[in-house]
Structure 1
């Protein structure tokens, strides 16, 4: 639907594009259209069908295949797959087969004239699949359902826990609900509880530095044992294994920095990643499009993470650049924030740190189950 027409948007129908195809099982989106918007150009993918992204720059990084849990609308870059013969195979089996054959789908990828990728529909429809009996299909589906369901359950638990942590942060440090009966004083950020301070982000850190990228043409710099994250991997959560790894030689001969567990990474370059966060789970490096922040012990990484998350919109409004909206390390360092007294901070961390530990453990399980899934499916 025409994005400039307000009658088409803000309805109740989830609208799926490449940007919203990140969940394995999909039922909602960040964008919703109206019935008028649906009539103006979108189509509906029915529950228990498949969505496959066939066009766009996102195809160079992934081949998103999503199972439709409830009816959604979708755009022209996405194909909806439904079964012709239910007695031959199950839609779930086809979904898991496609999920397990991402390399095959990647081999079909063509480059368009504008630098995006596409999968030719005719070639896709002519793919050959060896079908086991329906009894065998049911066995495979049962095993994969167990894995996918546990991964999805952990994701939902984590989303609920993080929502709780964010709500607690807002209650204490934005709305001041537990402190409303105490004295308040004027500050550059408005009325604040007496005894609290306004300081810079760098005052909360024991160390703060941008990353670096080893020369890509030097083969000795890559495929090492050191994790090296790019900002596209920052998705507001704990970071386990990175897509690329660098060597000790690369670390010594580049601007990359090795920072410890619980370092908070923040993307500072280019929409849509600018402002996104990640938390290291082991010593790692990262590229120059991110800044790494080691929180002071008394501050804690959980408080720092929630603070930066709550200030994302305000920080991003400071980004500059004609073609791309960028922050820089200096802007982030000098950004002014409110910090409570140490006893209040300690009380907050006593509540929120166990929540983050549970989220971390659940994320580790997701990581391990996903690795098992991606080993078994092919």
Structure 2
């Protein structure tokens, strides 16, 4: 099978992908793979399949590092290596932003510079990803192997024309990446301010000095079992937020054809800020409103997104909005709770889900109205900038995905 054969590219050469460079499977020989001996005081970045899927064009962050022992049972791959997932998230690809290790659930590709490039192959796999996933679907555990990858056949233009295709598509991806970096910085600024003001209690006092560090009066709160600023109170999440727990539509009536209402049933397709629309339902039950916080109540508990339209939510999600319009504050309250969930997970208390009762009864130190309004004013400006860039990214992604098949089939030519 030739994935991109068309009347427009009949002069391109048909080649197996192995002719374009070298495919090598990642290494993770030691078992168990999560053995602390592999990671204690580690300095060699390790990327997993989930991080490949989450990346846009380049992988520029990692959550784990191998130590010397970990490296000895793996391998360090150079910058710009193309990562291709072959298990779990199949046929997802991204380029290494710096040298990293990866396990045997990932295949690395390094191009022959005379024949192709890693970015071009990234777009090849983006183009054929759905076909690969469909071919693997239905097995006991969906996966593919390196022999499958190296045997794939594709119509390949000359190297200089490949580079022209990459220049167009990567320009869009680089703009998307820049927007994501700016958004991440804005979110970090808002979160840092939340931590200073509402966790460390170093909000500006009447003299503009950090409240707690400058000797502001603290009082013991028996509900929270800790000291909080004198004029503050304790509240439960249900006191400050309207909470809608998801419920799947009757008869599991989902479709991918765009029939009915957008339906989200978990955080799997959560991208940057807005979730990816994959399913619809003609029999919606529980609804979230545009602008609501979408919260994962099943593993991974606490993952969040913003609904960019009215939508139906399944059992894996809850929808929240502020009772007094302070959605910026509420968003970072939930970010704070997410840190607590993650910490409990790391301590061995695994959260498979959070119940309605537990969610409603989450408690927090609640600030004065004036301080809350001051924080919300700042965060509203940040959120506005984040929303604008996120909407721009949706348009850029749509344009890229529209161009990709036409460029790869030769239907659109590049001068």
**TMscore range, shorter length:** 0.7 to 0.9
Aligned match of 1:265 in 289, 294, 305? 294
1:1-378 matches, within 5 Å, as: 1-2=30-31, 3-6=34-37, 8-21=39-52, 22-23=54-55, 24-39=57-72, 41-56=73-88, 58-59=89-90, 63-83=91-111, 85-109=112-136, 112=139, 115-178=140-203, 179-180=211-212, 181=214, 182-188=216-222, 189=224, 190-205=226-241, 207-215=242-250, 218=253, 223-233=258-268, 235=270, 238-239=273-274, 241-247=276-282, 250-251=283-284, 256-269=285-298, 271=299, 273-298=300-325, 300-315=326-341, 325-378=352-405
Deviation per CA, 1:308-360, whole angstroms, max 9, x where unpaired? 111224357889xx997221111111111111111111111111111011111
Deviation per CA, 1:285-322, whole angstroms, max 9, x where unpaired? 21112221121124x11111101111224357889xx9
Contact 1:209 1:329 in 2 (8 A): no
Contact 2:341 2:351 in 1 (8 A): no
2:8 maps to none
Contact 1:240 1:282 in 2 (8 A): no
Distance 1:237 1:202 in 2: 27
Q: Which moved further from structure 2: 17-26 or 169-178? A: 17-26
Contact 2:231 2:368 in 1 (8 A): yes
Deviation at 1:233, TM superposition (A): 3.9
TM-score normalized by the length of structure 1: 0.87
Contact 1:240 1:367 in 2 (8 A): no
Indicate the SS of the match to 1:288. coil
Contact 2:37 2:70 in 1 (8 A): no
Distance 2:336 2:121 in 1: 41
Distance 1:309 1:318 in 2: 15
Contact 2:256 2:278 in 1 (8 A): no
Contact 1:234 1:277 in 2 (8 A): no
Distance 1:235 1:219 in 2: 18
Distance 1:318 1:29 in 2: 21
Distance 1:283 1:202 in 2: 21
Indicate the SS of the match to 2:113. coil
Deviation per CA, 1:188-246, whole angstroms, max 9, x where unpaired? 331111211101101102x3221111245647998424221122247485325521122
Indicate the SS of the match to 1:119. coil
In angstroms, what is the RMSD of aligned CA positions?
2.5
Length, aligned pairs only: 358
Indicate the SS of the match to 1:52. strand
Deviation at 1:67, TM superposition (A): 1.3
Distance 1:92 1:99 in 2: 11
User: Gapped runs of 5+ residues in structure 1?
Assistant: none
Q: Greater relative contact order (Cα 8 A, min sep 6): structure 1 or 2?
A: 2
User: Gapped runs of 5+ residues in structure 2?
Assistant: 1-29, 204-210, 406-415
Indicate the SS of the match to 1:308. helix
Deviation at 1:171, TM superposition (A): 0.5
